[in-house]
């Protein structure tokens, strides 16, 4: 059992993979959520054989220049449009050769929700035997921080100088609508749940999709040391729901938020990307409550959100 993210590429227990998936000396910024994710993946992957497929993004840049490589497993860098298709091909060849290799496609939110979406959707529809992980830093980080369709409303990016007017795309629901065997969201602030779900997603067959909220101090204009705390606040407040979807129809909520407005306010105030739009908890709460009401209905657990609980109490009075 681990309580906090496994940092610095060091193996923490006998269950960890002895060689790092993601070596020290990579070019990620300090406090990058992608680095945290890769260290937790080392724990989840353990002794399994894996191959990585990575389209253009910070994870590709982090690989370094030949003959060095950040990655401790076979890694194929692709164009955006071909990432999921390339992963499908690599998985098929492994299967034809009788190799017990799990193929992981690791992509950013831009590569997933925007530029590579067509081949992602096609691979999901064909139920290819790949694990697709979207680390969502809510911007095009590698090219200087432009908006993506996963950027939340109100966030300043280099091409939304007054704050993005549109809402964040709900990529997890879109992928669940493909009725894939497994889709889940991952909180890097809950390492045990993260490692459990990574392990489950590695072992299942067919198309699996994981959505990870990945703090990006450079783009979010936040302190590098606060990344994990920001994720914790997003989960606590209900802003980032953590749940699993099996076969597009069975929903399981993994972490119950307390729907704290204080946590939501802190999440916003600790990131300078929200400063100019002056977003407050009250601006986001109605959309969060609506999302959770829907999620409750889908998961069959009728635990009221704070708003509905308050409304019911008021009605009773």
Ligand X SMILES: Cc1ncc(C[n+]2csc(CCOP(=O)(O)OP(=O)(O)O)c2C)c(N)n1
Residues that bind ligand X (CB under 6 A): 56-58, 80, 107-111, 115, 137, 139-143, 148
The entry of ligand X, ligand SF4, Mg ion, none that residue 237 binds, CB within 5 to 8 Å by partner kind:
none
Please give the angle made by the CA atoms of 188, 232 and 105, to the nearest 5 degrees. 25
Nearer to ligand SF4, 71 or 207 (CB): 71
Binding-site ranges for ligand SF4 (CB under 6 A): 28-29, 32, 34, 58, 137, 141, 216-219
The entry of ligand X, Mg ion, ligand SF4, none that residue 143 binds, CB within 5 to 8 Å by partner kind:
ligand X
Least separation in angstroms between CB 114 and ligand X:
8
Q: How far is CA 147 from CA 54, 75, 113, 158, 306, in A?
A: 20, 27, 12, 7, 31
Least separation in angstroms between CB 231 and ligand X:
16
Work out the widest C-alpha separation in the chain, in whole angstroms.
71
Nearer to ligand X, 20 or 110 (CB): 110
Give residues with Cβ within 8 angstroms of 124, minimum separation 6: 84, 132, 175, 178, 180, 207, 209
- For ligand X, which residue has the nearest CB? 108
Tokens 């889908």, located at residue: 298
Distance CA 134, CA 170 (A): 12
H helices within the chain, ranges in order?
A: 33-45, 58-61, 83-96, 109, 117-125, 171-176, 191-203, 217-220, 227-236, 261-269, 281-299, 306-316
Nearer to ligand SF4, 26 or 88 (CB): 26
Least separation in angstroms between CB 110 and Mg ion:
5
Least separation in angstroms between CB 176 and Mg ion:
21
* Residue 99 three-state SS: coil
The entry of ligand SF4, Mg ion, ligand X, none that residue 257 binds, CB within 5 to 8 Å by partner kind:
none
The entry of Mg ion, ligand X, ligand SF4, none that residue 56 binds, CB within 5 to 8 Å by partner kind:
ligand X
Q: How far is CA 244 from CA 74, 127, 142, 149, 209, in A?
A: 29, 18, 29, 22, 10
Binding-site ranges for Mg ion (CB under 5 A): 108-109, 137, 141
Least separation in angstroms between CB 169 and ligand X:
12
Tokens 């945290």, located at residue: 36
Give CA 213 to chain center in angstroms: 4
Nearer to ligand SF4, 6 or 180 (CB): 6
Nearer to ligand X, 139 or 213 (CB): 139
């Amino acid at each position: 059992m681990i309580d906090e993210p496994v940092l610095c590429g060091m193996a923490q227990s006998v269950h960890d993979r002895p060689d790092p998936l993601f070596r020290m000396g990579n070019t990620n910024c300090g406090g990058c959520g992608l680095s945290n994710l890769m260290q937790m993946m080392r724990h989840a992957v353990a002794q399994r054989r894996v191959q990585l497929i990575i389209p253009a993004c910070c994870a590709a840049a982090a690989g370094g220049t030949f003959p060095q490589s950040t990655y401790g497993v076979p890694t194929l860098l692709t164009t955006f449009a071909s990432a999921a298709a390339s992963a499908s091909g690599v998985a098929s060849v492994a299967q034809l050769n009788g190799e017990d290799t799990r193929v992981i496609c690791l992509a950013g939110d831009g590569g997933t929700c925007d530029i590579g979406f067509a081949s992602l959707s096609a691979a999901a529809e064909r139920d290819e035997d790949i694990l697709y992980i979207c680390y969502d830093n809510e911007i095009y980080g590698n090219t200087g921080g432009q908006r993506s369709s996963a950027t939340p409303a109100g966030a300043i990016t280099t091409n939304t100088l007054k704050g993005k007017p549109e809402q964040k795309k709900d990529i997890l629901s879109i992928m669940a609508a493909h009725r894939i065997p497994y889709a889940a969201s991952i909180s890097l602030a809950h390492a045990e749940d993260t490692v459990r779900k990574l392990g489950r997603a590695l072992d299942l067959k067919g198309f699996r999709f994981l959505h990870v909220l990945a703090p990006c101090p450079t783009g979010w204009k936040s302190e590098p040391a606060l990344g994990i705390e920001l994720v914790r606040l997003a989960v606590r407040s209900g802003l980032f729901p953590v749940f699993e979807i099996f076969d597009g129809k069975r929903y399981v909520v993994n972490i119950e938020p307390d729907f704290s407005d204080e946590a939501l306010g802190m999440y916003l105030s600790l990131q300078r990307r929200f400063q100019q739009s002056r977003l407050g908890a009250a601006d986001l709460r109605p959309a969060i409550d609506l999302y959770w009401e829907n999620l409750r209905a889908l998961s069959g657990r009728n635990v009221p959100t704070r708003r509905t609980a308050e409304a019911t109490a008021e009605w009773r009075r």
